């Protein structure tokens, strides 16, 4: 049976030593976040994930979600675990206190989310999507919705979903056909079909609140193939009155659940809306004047706010799946015996050495570990920047640019590398990894979806290159280059840091050259940007994670100088940092060369 132990020590290191959480008390929501409180949250969340969620992960995958006679049921143990999860308050950990939540900042809640995803990705998606839905409702909903609906979602009494994708419309929302027709009372009747809806229906709660995007027909009853009439709606499974009472079943039905490669315990549904009662969220769009070009509706802002939060969450899923796959691979190679060490038997009295003695096995596991710990630091640094962006600090504007820039990087790079780590964890098992009983092949299957949903990774790369780089005159990449260069300058004369700063500079040089090449050649020929976008995103991911490793190496060197009792922990940090510089950073010049190859050969392909 697979194992999982929450990496609490590493969360402590990133929060307390790298990001110095105790010095962030001036940020909104951080005033009461003491080290003791954070420790209590981390240790209790770890215990819950290890003892409640992880034991039903493999069994949930084997059983899967059920769809019978129009009813969806989750696997054995999920309903009881969800009840415990809600009663313990984990679902409302980051929710506003005025709505019944604990008000913890995202820097803390993301650590808990990662643990839950490692322990049981299928389960964690139910409350994870609910969090995205109630956050959107709290930001855009009417007061009665916040008081009577969001509070029930925060308490765990009700769940929530995101309903975006349609059979003929995924990324290109202009092609969406679901429509919402306004009624005399100001509500809407919605008709259409949505697919791939995670947690779309289930037996965990009495009601499910769907956050749906749909088009409002124009004055002639037509819907257009553009974004001008796309709006954001709340559609409950069971109707809810303005005093919070649950009423009759709404016109939302489940057409089936998807038969998937992975996350089989997650009920991924086809939902049919048949004149379902819907409430529009956000301001009503103003009609276009005669001769005026229709513009994107105000409802898109609410949808993108929800999506950006989800993209960060999916990036964390990539880290989480890498963590649990690494842990299982690491445990296995300390039990399995195969061959002898290349330099001679390590245990001559045994018929074979443990698998961990072999260099290629070490390489596979070390790359996974270096990715997980480096990406975790990047995700938490980005989350901290989101909080700084909402503050009155002098660097608030730059922090906003940085967090905006990192969102597609975290989503795509972390899920790509998380999938690589899942494969590495399975690989060290040899043939036993391909056998379902051992459980590691589940991590490969579960992790694969992370590269696809909430905007496929190629789309994230295009968002990075096509939108994020040039916005506000390139303010975001310039802010990033400035931060990294400042770090390199401060540590330029530190000989002990040279193995790390040289690697970061090599990555930064390639990243800057690629950025300037795209700024020139991507504008001249957009296909150059498209052909190089995925390579550029990986180049940025390797570089910024390398920067995180250099920063962590600085902390580790400082700590080792004081002879700490846990010296091995910091030595391991230096080992991972050196591995990243030696094995990942060398990809950067190669990626630059591929980007500069342009699009001519790619576009020859018909």
Residues catalogued as catalytic: 454
Of 120, 136, 113, the C-alpha closest to 53 is: 120
Asked if residues 131 and 158 have their Cβ atoms less than 8 Å apart, the reply is no
Identify the burial level of 292 via C-beta atoms within 10 angstroms of its C-beta, where 0-12 means exposed, 13-18 middle and 19 or more buried. exposed
Helices 299-333 and 440-448 sit at what angle, rounded to 10 degrees? 160
Helices 498-524 and 526-560 sit at what angle, rounded to 10 degrees? 170
Q: Find the distance separating the first CA and the last CA of the chain, reported in whole Å.
A: 47
Which tokens in the block code for residue 428? Answer: 């060290």
Report the C-alpha gap between 171 and 287 in whole angstroms. 25
Coil, strand or helix at 398: helix
Please list, in sequence order, all residues whose beta carbon lies within 8 angstroms of the beta carbon of residue 323, skipping any fewer than 6 positions away.
Answer: 7, 114, 118, 372
Task: Fill in the DSSP letter of residue 20.
Answer: -
**Beta strand 230-236 with 268-281: parallel, antiparallel or unpaired?**
antiparallel
Which tokens in the block code for residue 327? Answer: 């842990």
Of 5, 8, 33, 72, the C-alpha closest to 384 is: 33
Residues listed for the chain: 606
| CA-CA-CA-CA dihedral for 456, 459, 464, 468, to nearest 10 | -110
C-beta atoms surrounding 304 within 10 Å: 13
Report the C-alpha gap between 376 and 365 in whole angstroms. 16
Please list, in sequence order, all residues whose beta carbon lies within 8 angstroms of the beta carbon of residue 220, skipping any fewer than 6 positions away.
Answer: none
Asked if residues 543 and 574 have their Cβ atoms less than 8 Å apart, the reply is no
Which tokens in the block code for residue 215? Answer: 């088009």
Which tokens in the block code for residue 356? Answer: 């961990």
Identify the burial level of 360 via C-beta atoms within 10 angstroms of its C-beta, where 0-12 means exposed, 13-18 middle and 19 or more buried. exposed
Report the C-alpha gap between 484 and 448 in whole angstroms. 32
């Amino acid at each position: 049976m697979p194992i999982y132990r929450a990496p609490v020590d590493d969360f402590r290191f990133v929060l307390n030593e790298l990001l110095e959480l105790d010095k962030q008390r001036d940020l909104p929501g951080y005033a009461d976040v003491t080290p003791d409180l954070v420790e209590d949250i981390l240790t209790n969340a770890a215990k819950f994930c290890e003892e409640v969620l992880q034991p039903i992960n493999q069994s949930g995958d084997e059983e899967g979600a059920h769809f019978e006679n129009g009813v969806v049921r989750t696997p054995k143990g999920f309903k009881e675990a969800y009840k415990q999860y809600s009663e313990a308050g984990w679902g409302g950990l980051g929710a506003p206190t005025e709505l019944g939540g604990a008000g913890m900042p995202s820097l803390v809640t993301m650590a808990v989310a990662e643990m839950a995803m490692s322990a049981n990705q299928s389960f964690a998606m139910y409350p994870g999507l609910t969090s995205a839905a109630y956050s959107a409702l709290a930001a855009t909903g009417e007061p009665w919705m916040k008081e009577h609906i969001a509070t029930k979602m925060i308490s765990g009494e009700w769940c929530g979903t995101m309903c975006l994708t349609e059979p003929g419309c995924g990324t290109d929302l202009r092609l969406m056909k679901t429509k919402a027709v306004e009624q005399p009372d100001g509500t809407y009747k919605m008709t259409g079909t949505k697919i791939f809806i995670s947690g779309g229906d289930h037996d965990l709660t009495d009601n499910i609140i769907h956050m749906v995007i749909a088009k409002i027909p124009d004055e002639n009853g037509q819907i257009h193939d553009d974004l001008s009439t796309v709006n954001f709606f709340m559609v409950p499974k069971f109707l809810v009155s303005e005093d919070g009472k649950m009423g009759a079943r709404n016109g939302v039905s489940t057409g089936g659940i998807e038969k998937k490669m992975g996350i089989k315990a997650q009920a991924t549904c086809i939902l049919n809306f048949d004149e379902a009662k819907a409430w529009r969220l956000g301001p009503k769009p103003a009609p276009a004047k005669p001769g005026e070009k229709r513009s994107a509706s105000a409802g898109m802002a609410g949808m993108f706010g929800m999506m950006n939060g989800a993209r960060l969450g999916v990036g964390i899923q990539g880290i989480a799946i890498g963590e649990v796959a690494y842990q299982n691979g690491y445990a296995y190679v300390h039990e399995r015996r195969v061959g002898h060490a290349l330099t001679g038997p390590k245990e001559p009295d045994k018929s074979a050495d443990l698998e961990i003695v072999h260099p290629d096995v070490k390489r596979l596991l070390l790359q996974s570990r270096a990715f997980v710990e480096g990406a975790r630091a990047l995700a938490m640094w980005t989350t901290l920047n989101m909080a700084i962006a909402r503050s009155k600090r002098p660097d608030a504007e730059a922090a906003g640019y940085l967090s905006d820039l990192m969102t597609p990087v975290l989503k795509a790079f972390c899920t790509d590398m998380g999938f690589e780590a899942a494969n590495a964890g399975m690989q060290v098992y040899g043939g036993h990894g391909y056998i379902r009983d051992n459980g590691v092949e589940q991590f490969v299957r579960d992790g694969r979806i992370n590269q696809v949903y909430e905007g496929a990774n190629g789309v994230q790369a295009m968002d990075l290159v096509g939108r994020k780089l040039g916005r506000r005159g390139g303010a975001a990449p310039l802010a990033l280059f400035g931060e990294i260069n400042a770090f390199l300058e401060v540590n330029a004369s530190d000989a002990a840091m040279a193995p790390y700063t040289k690697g970061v500079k090599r990555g930064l040089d390639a990243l800057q050259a690629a950025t300037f090449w795209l700024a020139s050649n991507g504008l001249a020929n957009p296909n150059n940007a498209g052909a190089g976008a995925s390579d550029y995103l990986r180049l940025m991911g390797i570089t910024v994670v390398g920067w995180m490793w250099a920063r962590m190496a600085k902390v580790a060197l400082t700590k080792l100088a004081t002879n700490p009792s846990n010296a091995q922990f910091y030595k391991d940090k230096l080992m991972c940092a050196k591995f990243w510089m030696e094995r990942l950073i060398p990809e950067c010049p190669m990626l630059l060369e591929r980007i500069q190859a342009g699009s001519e050969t790619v576009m020859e392909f018909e």
